[in-house]
Structures are given as structure tokens and as C-alpha cells.
Amino acid sequence: MSTEHFTLTMSREFDAPREKVFDAWMEPDKLAQWFGPVEVEAPREKIIVEPRVGGIWQVVMVWSDEDGEQEAPIEAVITELETPALLVAQAKAAPDADHEFEEMRLEFEDLNGRTRMNVTQGPFESQEWVDMTRDGWATSFDKLDELLA
């Protein structure tokens, strides 16, 4: 197992107030409408959000491929929460990962009615995982853009 770890950092601007962008992460009905890459869904009944430090933040992504319906659960605990500026959640890493937890840190900057969201996520085992995650977030954030419009 490698001891080297990789971190994803990216920013995205949305033409919406930061309260609205933040709420899209914290309200299950909204999360279900945008979360997951293209052709991946996050069914509302598989989302749990307890908006408090120590609360659960859980989403199950679902898609179909040649092997049938697939699921990828994200089971996290909120470790920091400053509405509407900061959400930090710690998730269990994949079973084959060489680390136990993965952190997702979301910072929401107010840009006079627009929002810059800064994402930091990791550790990942390889740059390939960082790149795949970045691509997945990019299409998810395209869906979030449409929801916020």
C-alpha cells in the first residue's frame, strides 16, 4: 500500500446567493435533484441530512450499467458547520483504501449575490482518483447550476 496521499481542490462560481447554494447541500429534496455525475441519481429516499455537528450527511448514488443497478453510498458525519459559510464532513473511505476516512470541506464565499464554492476533498490514493472525482463534481455542479437558475 502506498503512503502517498492526494487531495482534490477546486472552485466553482454560481449565480445564486450563498444561502441558496448552501441549502442545496443541506436539504435532501434539493440534493436529490442535482447530486451525482451525469447519468447517476441520488434517490430522495436514500438521503439523510442532520444539519448539526455530529449529524449524519448520507447520500447513495445509483446508476445502471451492464451489471444492472449499482450503488455507491457516501456515509459521512458533519464535523464543522457554519451556516451558510462552511460544511465539513468526514466519510468512511472505500473498503480498499489505505486510509480510514476522507474529508470533504466546502467553503461558500459571498460575492455580492453570487457564490464561490471552494471544495477540498481527500486523502485519495492516486492522482487518478482525484481526476475522476473532479470530473464527477464538474457534472454534478452543472446540474446544481441548473437547479439554482
Domains defined for the chain, CATH in brackets: 6-148 (3.30.530.20)
pLDDT in tens, 95-119: 666 666 789 999 999 999 999 999 9
Amino acid 101: pLDDT: 76
Can you tell me the distance from the alpha carbon of 14 to that of 95, in angstroms, rounded to the nearest whole number?
Answer: 34
- Per-residue burial over 73-103, b if 16 or more Cβ lie within 10 Å, else e, is ebebbbbebeebeebbbbbebeeebeeeebb
Can you tell me the distance from the alpha carbon of 118 to that of 106, in angstroms, rounded to the nearest whole number?
Answer: 6
Q: 122: which strand partners?
A: 103
Amino acid 53: pLDDT: 98
> Could you tell me the pTM of the whole model?
0.90
CA angle 104, 40, 145 (to 5 degrees): 65
